Structure 1
């Protein structure tokens, strides 16, 4: 009888491990901010962990491609919660990636620790990449969730 349960337990354990791995890094659905033919085409957004935990680091990884080299610019990131802007930041694009970015595919990853007081729920992010002349190269929006998990103190 033990030999019949053992394969089933192994199967359940494998399924459980697969489920955990997908919960920590999943592709996120995104959309463009406007119906514009942007010079930079985004192919994917990945958030790790997903859902996000308060007071813990979160990484946003954007996969994209460009038809022409990018020599400079900035990322403008706006975060809203129930339609209200709760966070805005601007980053030098060349501090996030090595410039110039050659024609073809590239990845931008940004890690940030979220505040401990951030309420759980769904947030919307708008990320705009502008060139050195302030012209939008791409603009995407996507959602992320902060889970209801317990806040762990760093004491």
Structure 2
């Protein structure tokens, strides 16, 4: 019996990294699946994840381009799911404040940091990010879902004391 349990433990140790990597994966979708965007997004990393209120959250977007980009805008829209998606936040930033400009061909990263107010309601959210060049041409548009829990880590610590 002890041998069987130790074999299960070894299998668990081997599978655990695979399971945890799937749970933190952000499912990124293009806004228009038929559009052949100039900028291809390969992934989004959110730190810390899960997202908490009153804590700075950084969104790191990994992307690539075959055409250099001299400048433009990063447009972010956030919607809250209240039986229908309701827009709750919108921001337009200079792309060059989020990455190094000019963006040369190949891989690059965009980093955006945001702190959600303490009054942010728990629930499901959708973030849409559009990247536009200096002529307002849409270079890419992605969307992904995230959620805010009922309590932040700070609230849970206070509640348990």
Q: Scaled by the length of structure 1, what TM-score is found?
A: 0.82
Question: What is the CA–CA distance in structure 2 between the aligned matches of 1:137 and 1:145, rounded to whole Å?
Answer: 27
Change in Cα spacing, 1:152 to 1:89, as seen in structure 2 (3 Å) is same
Question: What is the CA–CA distance in structure 1 between the aligned matches of 2:66 and 2:25, rounded to whole Å?
Answer: 24
Residue 133 (structure 1) aligns with: 135
Residue 29 (structure 2) aligns with: 31
8 A contact 1:58–1:112 mirrored in 2 = yes
State the Cα deviation string for residues 110-142 of structure 1 (Å, max 9, x = none): 111111001111100000000000000000000
Question: What is the CA–CA distance in structure 2 between the aligned matches of 1:36 and 1:57, rounded to whole Å?
Answer: 33
Deviation at 1:151, TM superposition (A): 6.4
8 A contact 1:96–1:109 mirrored in 2 = yes
Deviation at 1:31, TM superposition (A): 0.6
1:1-155 → structure 2 map (5 Å cutoff):
26-34=24-32, 35-82=34-81, 83-150=85-152, 152=154
RMSD: 2.8
Deviation at 1:18, TM superposition (A): 5.9
Deviation at 1:98, TM superposition (A): 1.0
Question: What is the CA–CA distance in structure 2 between the aligned matches of 1:46 and 1:135, rounded to whole Å?
Answer: 25
Change in Cα spacing, 1:90 to 1:127, as seen in structure 2 (3 Å) is same
8 A contact 1:57–1:112 mirrored in 2 = yes
8 A contact 1:50–1:145 mirrored in 2 = no
8 A contact 1:27–1:47 mirrored in 2 = no
Runs (5+) with no aligned partner, structure 1: none
- Structure 2 counterpart SS, 1:64: strand
